[in-house]
Amino acid sequence: MNQPPTATSPAAPPTLPTTALLVGTTTVSERADADRLARGLVENRLAACVQIDGPITSVYSWQDKLETAPEFRLTVKFPAANAAALETWLRANHPYDTPEWIATPACFVSDKYLSWALANCSVPA
């Protein structure tokens, strides 16, 4: 039986080919943090591309209180082989105590884009 991930260990990615492309999303409150995370993910070759949108409006519950806040959304494209390393890096560098991190497999990726994305990421040994 699979155990749920702990708060200190990244979730195991689903069984996917290591060359599958995933698209992940996280948010931050400050543009400078969005820029720093995006640059760090790409410079460390964990992600091929990170797009920054915003500000957007997020509505959520935090510590039993309804919150509404402007945030910047990062959309991260990366190979499945980098999922665990990317999540570990993100947890260590994200300014939030409980950062959003949701990643899903891309259902269709053009051959040229996939080749480019994989060539621009280091797949962990």
**pLDDT tens string 57-83:** 999 998 999 999 999 999 999 999 999
**In the CATH scheme, what is the code of domain 21-119?**
3.30.70.120
CA atoms of 96 and 28, how far apart (whole Å): 7
Residues 6+ apart with CB under 8 A from 32: none
> Cα dist. 110→17, 35, 40, 68 in Å?
16, 27, 25, 37
**pLDDT tens string 5-32:** 454 555 555 578 888 999 999 999 999 9
| Domain boundaries along the sequence of the chain | 21-119
The amino acid at 45: R
CA atoms of 51 and 15, how far apart (whole Å): 26
Tell me the pTM. 0.85
